[in-house]
Every structure is written in structure tokens, then in C-alpha cells.
């Protein structure tokens, strides 16, 4: 093992703590209230990240179908988490490439979600 990458260590800790917080939120709070997304309130179109909090909550509670319905990018995020963890301890080229591919797929995924949401609004 090489040096520990402190930036990835901090990022991974933040992600894990966020997952703990999201998984412990009461379902009444998440699923019975309207969206607080500023983009949605101004433009009337859900942003690409709308539904991620609910999707993550469903995902960590193993409700994968509902998770997919809220925002399918949560599954790519699930692949990213172990890669971030591995980046703490290694600078392996394969891990770095995997991280880049997942980040590119996430960018494409969020772009596609936004396009679909805009197109569905117009028709």
C-alpha cells in the first residue's frame, strides 16, 4: 500500500455520514412533503438531482424498484462509493479509470434525466 490520500478519505467519510443521515430520516419527512427544489419551484421542471434523496433512502433500505423510479443514477452512485474508498489507499490506474468512467456515466445519466424531464413537460 502506498500513501493515504487524505482528500479521498475525507470525501468518503462525508459520503458515509450522509448515507447514515439519509437512511435515518423518517419516511414521513421524505415521502409526504412536496419537493423543496428551487429549480422546480422557479421553472416547473424537476432538476436532474430531484429525487436523489428519496432514491438514496429507498436504496439503503433495499427498495430498489422505488429507488429506480425516483432517480436511476443512485445505482451509479452505489458503484462510485467503493471506488472512492479504494482511492484512499491506491493510485492504481485501473481504479482511476473506473472512477472517471463512472463520473462520465453519471454526467450522461443526469443529462438524460434532465432532457427526459423537459421533453415530458412539453408533451
pLDDT along the chain (123 residues), means of 10: 80 90 83 84 89 90 92 92 90 91 95 90 59
**Closest alpha carbon to 70 in 80, 82, 81, 57:** 57
Secondary element (H or E) of residue 74: helix 74-89
HEC string for 19-73: HHHHHHCCHHHHHCCCCCCHHHHHHCCCCCCCCHHHHHHHHHCCCHHHHHHHCCC
pLDDT value of residue 122: 60
pLDDT value of residue 27: 77
pLDDT value of residue 4: 85
**For the chain, domain boundaries:** 6-122
**Closest alpha carbon to 21 in 53, 69, 49:** 53
Burial of 79 (0-12, 13-18, 19+ CB in 10 A): middle
> Are 67 and 40 in contact, with CB atoms under 8 Å apart?
no
Please tell me the distance from the alpha carbon of residue 41 to that of residue 107, in angstroms, as a whole number.
23
For 62, left (φ over 0), alpha (ψ -120 to 50), or beta?
left
pLDDT value of residue 75: 93
> Are 23 and 105 in contact, with CB atoms under 8 Å apart?
no
Amino acid at each position: 500500500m502506498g500513501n493515504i490520500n487524505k482528500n479521498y478519505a475525507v470525501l468518503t467519510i462525508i459520503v458515509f455520514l450522509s448515507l447514515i443521515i439519509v437512511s435515518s430520516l423518517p419516511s414521513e419527512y421524505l415521502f409526504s412533503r412536496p419537493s423543496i427544489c428551487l429549480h422546480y419551484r422557479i421553472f416547473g421542471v424537476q432538476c436532474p438531482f430531484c429525487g436523489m434523496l428519496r432514491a438514496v433512502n429507498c436504496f439503503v433500505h433495499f427498495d430498489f424498484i422505488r429507488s429506480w423510479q425516483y432517480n436511476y443514477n443512485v445505482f451509479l452512485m452505489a458503484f462510485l462509493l467503493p471506488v472512492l474508498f479504494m482511492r484512499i489507499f491506491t493510485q492504481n490506474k485501473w481504479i482511476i479509470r473506473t472512477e472517471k468512467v463512472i463520473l462520465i456515466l453519471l454526467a450522461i445519466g443526469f443529462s438524460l434525466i434532465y432532457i427526459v424531464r423537459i421533453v415530458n413537460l412539453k408533451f
